[in-house]
């Protein structure tokens, strides 16, 4: 959604980098670029004016002018101001002191309230609650049936005594639902209300009547993030007519410009509490302004990525795998398959890569990743026998042909998989032996740096020069043997070999083959 804004902001900061001092004209030019970028993203004009004025004023302060890297300091200021207009900090649901906690969803028709009710119920169950979904949209055709199906998918209880399709009193249903939840010991009630194609008196009155009947602890306004500045107008009308406590943004995975996300919190004074960024029930989470600002500025969102990994990766399995490596056992195709399956639980590869810093410049390659490649890889591994997975060296020509037939792939695809797995196996061996010499400069990887006296220079012919002192030559040979012993099983010239030769950085084996030809 924020691709265009991200590109414009990246170009703006690129023009500031490399300058030891920023003049007033440099700052004014950058401020104009920020203004244009935000207006093109359909951010509300009052928000743009306030944002640009704050950035310009802070960028001209002595703190920035005296900074060693003023461009970086301006980037920090933009990040801080983005966080401010996005709401400052994440806000959680206020739970009632005496259950049940009542959450009322309001918004226009088509904003995604019914689907979001299921996502919210799924999230609440993950937090240890027992939610009850209540069908109070009795106007839209089949709205009651839709919510019932969503509730089943979310594993949540459902309350819909009226058939809907214009039949039933939504205020009475809401009142009865709270009593039912109290009787059945559901600690959270999520009320799905009716919407309209636009703001009208009937819609406002019905929402206000339901609010008065159940006195919700949280009223959440659900807004489609793809409708631009009109979302702000609608939000303000609901705030004046019914009132709400927080905002939920839906369809953040769309291709619109995203102005609603950057405007609604600042204009209404109500924080964005949740965001939905996909069609699946799991594509829903708490809205973190700092993380969203970081994504907009192409700084990545490693915290969300790590939290997602912690949810899907089996801790015991990871510990067993670590102990296996430390004991000197090899990385097998069984391990490879297990890691790949857990990785798939985190979502699509494009979504995972999109959370890494600096991935904006590789957007085209990321968007053209073939997600089906992992399915093909899984099919090939599952077509092998347990013995073949444990020891791929026994895979001769006939075995590989059988695997190709069993997985519906070609022999060349099987050969490519074995080659990629062999590289991954070498990487795991190198990690187990104390470092990854093939990734120079990466903190926490590789062997400790050697002193200049121990570093060998290369001669004209590309070979390492040898000392003319016999004693020194013997010492060098002994040191080389010790280094080779630290990486058993790795021959000279290997990209992760014991000679410490620096190899180009490559993606992990699970990701290879997903990028299009020429993608790195």
pLDDT (0 to 100) of residue 507: 47
Whole-Å CA distances, 394 to 165, 182, 389, 418, 426 = 65, 63, 10, 11, 18
pLDDT (0 to 100) of residue 258: 65
Task: Say yes or no: 336 and 364 in one domain.
Answer: yes
Contact yes or no for 265/85 (Cβ under 8 A):
yes
Distance CA 191, CA 195 (A): 13
pLDDT (0 to 100) of residue 472: 62
Is 194 annotated to bind ligand? yes
Give the chain's mean pLDDT. Answer: 78
pLDDT (0 to 100) of residue 518: 46
Is 22 annotated to bind ligand? no
Q: Is there a domain that residue 494 lies in?
A: no
Q: Is there a domain that residue 188 lies in?
A: yes
Distance CA 476, CA 468 (A): 12
Is 109 annotated to bind ligand? yes
The SS3 assignment for 211 reads helix
Contact yes or no for 435/447 (Cβ under 8 A):
yes
Total domains in the chain come to: 3
Task: Say yes or no: 57 and 106 in one domain.
Answer: no
Stretch 267-283: mean pLDDT, rounded? 86
Q: Is there a domain that residue 499 lies in?
A: no
- DSSP, res 451: P
Backbone angles phi, psi at 250, to 5 degrees: -110, 160
Inform me whether the pLDDT recorded for 100 exceeds 80.
yes
Stretch 168-193: mean pLDDT, rounded? 94
Partnered with residue 274 across adjacent β-strands are 248, 286
Task: Say yes or no: 226 and 122 in one domain.
Answer: yes
Task: Say yes or no: 44 and 136 in one domain.
Answer: no
Q: Is there a domain that residue 95 lies in?
A: no
- Domain CATH number, residue 358: 1.10.260.30
The SS3 assignment for 485 reads helix
pLDDT (0 to 100) of residue 171: 93
Stretch 251-255: mean pLDDT, rounded? 71
Distance CA 93, CA 220 (A): 10
Burial of 480-496, coded b for 16+ CB within 10 Å and e otherwise, reads eeebeeebeebeeebbb
Q: Is there a domain that residue 368 lies in?
A: yes
Contact yes or no for 93/127 (Cβ under 8 A):
no
Contact yes or no for 196/231 (Cβ under 8 A):
no
Band (pLDDT 50/70/90 cuts) for residue 218 is very high
CA 298: distance to chain centroid? Answer: 12
Write the pLDDT tens digit of every residue in 127-174: 999 999 999 999 888 999 999 999 999 999 999 999 888 888 999 999
Inform me whether the pLDDT recorded for 186 exceeds 90.
yes
pLDDT (0 to 100) of residue 356: 78
Task: Say yes or no: 311 and 295 in one domain.
Answer: no
Whole-Å CA distances, 65 to 13, 20, 74, 357 = 16, 9, 10, 27
Distance CA 191, CA 207 (A): 11
pLDDT (0 to 100) of residue 159: 95
Task: Say yes or no: 126 and 160 in one domain.
Answer: yes
Task: Say yes or no: 175 and 126 in one domain.
Answer: yes
Inform me whether the pLDDT recorded for 445 exceeds 90.
no
Cα dihedral 42, 45, 47, 53 sign: positive
Is 114 annotated to bind ligand? yes
Q: Which residues contact residue 25 at a Cβ distance below 8 angstroms, ignoring those fewer than 6 apart?
A: none
pLDDT (0 to 100) of residue 326: 67
Distance CA 43, CA 5 (A): 10
Last residue of a domain, one of 275, 299, 323: 299
Task: Say yes or no: 193 and 316 in one domain.
Answer: no
Give the lowest-confidence range in 18-32, 292-306, 422-436.
Answer: 422-436
Is 500 annotated to bind ligand? no
- Domain CATH number, residue 281: 3.40.50.300
Q: Is there a domain that residue 468 lies in?
A: no
Is 253 annotated to bind ligand? yes
Last residue of a domain, one of 85, 113, 143: 85
Write the pLDDT tens digit of every residue in 21-72: 788 888 888 889 888 888 888 888 888 899 999 999 988 888 887 777 888 8
Is 385 annotated to bind ligand? no
- Domain CATH number, residue 39: 1.20.120.140
More confident residue, 455 or 58: 58
- Helices (H) and strands (E) counted in the chain, each on its own, are 22, 8
Contact yes or no for 39/45 (Cβ under 8 A):
yes
Distance CA 51, CA 82 (A): 8
pLDDT (0 to 100) of residue 173: 94
pLDDT (0 to 100) of residue 26: 85
Q: Is there a domain that residue 90 lies in?
A: no
Contact yes or no for 192/134 (Cβ under 8 A):
yes
pLDDT (0 to 100) of residue 453: 38
Contact yes or no for 140/228 (Cβ under 8 A):
no
Stretch 433-441: mean pLDDT, rounded? 43
Is 107 annotated to bind ligand? yes
pLDDT (0 to 100) of residue 495: 33
Is 408 annotated to bind ligand? no
Residue owning tokens 């944002």 = 51
Task: Say yes or no: 134 and 251 in one domain.
Answer: yes
Inform me whether the pLDDT recorded for 452 exceeds 50.
no
Is 164 annotated to bind ligand? no
Contact yes or no for 232/200 (Cβ under 8 A):
no
Is 113 annotated to bind ligand? yes
pLDDT (0 to 100) of residue 75: 87
More confident residue, 354 or 244: 244
pLDDT (0 to 100) of residue 116: 92
Is 195 annotated to bind ligand? yes
Is 192 annotated to bind ligand? yes
Domain range spanning residue 292?
101-299
Q: Is there a domain that residue 30 lies in?
A: yes
Distance CA 273, CA 431 (A): 41
Stretch 385-390: mean pLDDT, rounded? 90
Task: Say yes or no: 45 and 105 in one domain.
Answer: no
Band (pLDDT 50/70/90 cuts) for residue 457 is very low
pLDDT (0 to 100) of residue 67: 78
Burial of 124-153, coded b for 16+ CB within 10 Å and e otherwise, reads beeeebbbbbbbbbbbbeebbebbbebbee
Task: Say yes or no: 61 and 107 in one domain.
Answer: no
Band (pLDDT 50/70/90 cuts) for residue 371 is confident
Last residue of a domain, one of 238, 270, 299: 299
pLDDT (0 to 100) of residue 189: 96
Stretch 223-246: mean pLDDT, rounded? 82
- DSSP, res 120: H
Task: Say yes or no: 126 and 207 in one domain.
Answer: yes
């Amino acid at each position: 959604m924020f691709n265009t804004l991200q590109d414009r902001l990246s170009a703006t900061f690129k023009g500031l980098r490399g300058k030891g001092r920023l003049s007033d004209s440099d700052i004014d030019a950058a401020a104009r670029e920020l203004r244009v970028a935000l207006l093109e993203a359909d951010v509300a004009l009052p928000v743009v004016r306030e944002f640009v004025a704050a950035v310009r004023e802070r960028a001209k302060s002595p703190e920035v002018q005296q900074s060693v890297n003023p461009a970086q300091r301006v980037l920090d200021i933009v990040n801080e101001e983005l966080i401010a207009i996005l709401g400052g900090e994440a806000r959680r649901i206020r739970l009632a002191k005496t259950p049940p906690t009542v959450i009322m969803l309001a918004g226009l028709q088509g904003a995604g309230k019914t689907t979001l009710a299921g996502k919210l119920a799924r999230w609440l169950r993950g937090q240890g609650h027992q939610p009850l979904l209540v069908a109070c949209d009795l106007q839209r055709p089949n709205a009651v049936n839709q919510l019932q199906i969503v509730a089943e998918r979310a594993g949540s209880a459902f309350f819909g005594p009226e058939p809907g399709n214009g039949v039933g009193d939504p205020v009475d249903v809401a009142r009865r639902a709270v009593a039912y939840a109290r009787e059945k010991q559901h600690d959270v009630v999520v009320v799905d209300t009716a919407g309209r194609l636009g703001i009208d008196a009937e819609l406002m009155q019905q929402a206000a009547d339901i609010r008065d009947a159940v006195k919700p602890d949280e009223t959440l306004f659900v807004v489609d993030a793809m409708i631009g500045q009109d979302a702000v107008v609608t939000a303000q009308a609901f705030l004046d007519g019914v009132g709400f406590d927080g905002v939920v943004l839906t369809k953040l995975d769309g291709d619109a410009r995203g102005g609603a996300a950057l405007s609604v919190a600042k204009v209404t004074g109500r924080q964005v509490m949740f965001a939905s960024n996909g069609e699946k029930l799991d594509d829903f989470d708490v809205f973190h302004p700092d993380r969203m600002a970081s994504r907009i500025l192409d700084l990545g969102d490693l915290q969300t990525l790590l939290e997602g990994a912690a949810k899907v990766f089996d801790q015991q399995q990871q510990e067993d795998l670590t102990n296996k490596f430390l004991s000197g056992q090899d990385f097998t195709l069984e391990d490879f398959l297990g890691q790949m399956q857990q990785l798939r639980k985190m979502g699509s590869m494009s979504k995972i890569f999109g959370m890494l810093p600096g991935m904006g410049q590789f957007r085209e390659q990321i968007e053209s990743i073939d997600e089906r490649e992992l399915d093909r890889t899984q099919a090939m591994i599952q077509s092998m026998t347990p013995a073949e997975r444990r020891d791929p060296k026994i895979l001769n020509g006939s075995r590989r042909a059988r695997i190709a037939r069993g997985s519906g792939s070609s022999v060349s695809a099987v050969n490519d998989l074995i080659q990629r797995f062999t590289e991954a196996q070498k990487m795991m061996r190198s990690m187990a032996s104390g470092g990854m010499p093939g990734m120079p400069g990466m903190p926490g990887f590789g062997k400790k740096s050697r002193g200049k006296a121990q570093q060998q220079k290369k001669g004209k012919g590309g070979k390492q020069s040898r000392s003319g002192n016999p004693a020194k030559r013997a010492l060098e040979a002994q040191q080389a043997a010790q280094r080779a012993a630290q990486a058993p099983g790795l021959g000279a010239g290997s990209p992760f070999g014991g000679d410490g030769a620096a190899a180009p950085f490559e993606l992990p084996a699970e990701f290879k083959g997903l990028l299009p030809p020429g993608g790195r």
